[in-house]
Amino acid sequence: MTLSNRDELKNAIRAALLARAPKPTGIKKVIELAGGANSLAHKLGVTHQAIYTWSHRGWVPIQRAIQIESLFGVPREALLKPELVAILAPRQWS
């Protein structure tokens, strides 16, 4: 395998992994707005471990998304699991 082929293979693997990674959501922005993960945890009445979990996976439970939306003005659609947003989105009828 040539060096060029190795680079192409590494780039293809990197692209495939990035495509499978969860898309970023608004939780990181909310952590910034709250002044950090511990501050957000305190404001929501949850543990900092919960905030870490949400940040790591990229979405929050729907009940918390509603709470965060009311406290910080970040739309719940930016906080929810993308598949859930797609299910809850209004359908356009022809």
Tens digits of per-residue pLDDT, 2-49? 767 888 888 888 777 666 655 556 999 999 999 999 999 999 999 999
Domain boundaries, the chain: 23-88
Q: In this predicted structure, what is the pLDDT of residue 5?
A: 82
Q: In this predicted structure, what is the pLDDT of residue 44?
A: 98
Q: In this predicted structure, what is the pLDDT of residue 4?
A: 78
Q: How far does Cα 3 stand from its chain's mean position?
A: 36
Residue 91: which pLDDT band, with cuts at 50, 70 and 90?
A: low
72-81 contacts at long range (C-beta below 8 A, 24 or more positions apart): 72/30, 72/33, 72/34, 74/26, 74/29, 74/30, 74/33, 75/26, 78/25, 78/26, 78/29, 79/25, 79/26, 79/27, 79/30, 80/25
Model's pTM, two decimal places?
0.67
For domain 23-88, is the CATH number 1.10.260.40? yes
